[in-house]
Amino acid sequence: MTAKVFNFRSFSIKREKSGMKLSTDAVLLGAWTADLLQNENPLRILDIGTGTGILALIAAQFFGRARVDAIDCDDGAVFDAGINFSESPYADRIRLMKADVRYFRSPEKASDDDGAGIYDLIICNPPYFDFSVPLASISRHNARCSDSLSAADLFASVSRLMTECGRACIIIPYDRENDYVRTALDNELIVHRRVRVSSKKEKDPYVTLLCFVKKSLTGADFPLSNDGSADDAESGYLLENDGSRSHFFSNLTKELYLK
């Protein structure tokens, strides 16, 4: 497979062996997370299922003091992400590891006995398709199908690895939103921010951006609603009818895209 190259303002993404294609959704998640937490400056960040490394690179660009751990259990993803990280300006702040998040423990943490996570921010574009028949490529299947990382396994891992005041940001299909929110609540995580995104203004939402916090953090700043989540959902759309980026999307990505 010939490597495909996508150039951004401060880094490039090459994809040759990863099962996960570079998607607008991943860029949207990374840019939204950076905007949401721009005043919080997380110092330890974990990118679960890094793929080509796009989320880790966006996090490193916007959070200039952060150390980013990027993990993936797929050899092809580790190959591509390794090249992309090493050729970026942020190589000294991103650490790549082949690991399954269900069993992952940061090398700095000797044990999980104290129950305290170390990551201030966890980001993930999880595999969410439910295919009964595996795709032809194992790498592609693992990148896209929920049997490689279920919502239950994802949120159990997030709850274990995240600090008490940390944030976890993900993007999922709109029609899976309620399932993911309920599963997160089963793992003591609640929605702090939620944005439902459409492709165009008149279209129905197709994905939801979610930011979770630990339920123990709830109080005056994080009131619970009936479904265990916080603020009412916001909305946005990506493209105008003429194909140009919407104000919502262009404002988020103005420091990422070349034009």
Given a contact cutoff of 8 angstroms between Cβ atoms, the answer to whether 119 and 163 are in contact is yes
Residue 215 DSSP code: G
Residue 246 DSSP code: P
For 181-207, the pLDDT digits (tens) are 999 999 999 999 999 999 999 999 999
Report CA dihedral (157, 209, 36, 233) to the nearest 10 degrees.
-120
* CA dist list (Å): 55 to 141, 200, 204: 20, 24, 26
For 80-89, the pLDDT digits (tens) are 999 999 999 9
pLDDT reading at 2 higher than 80: no
Instruction: Give residue limits of the domains in the chain.
Output: 14-253
Superfamily for 14-253? Vaccinia Virus protein VP39 (3.40.50.150)
More confident residue, 240 or 132: 240
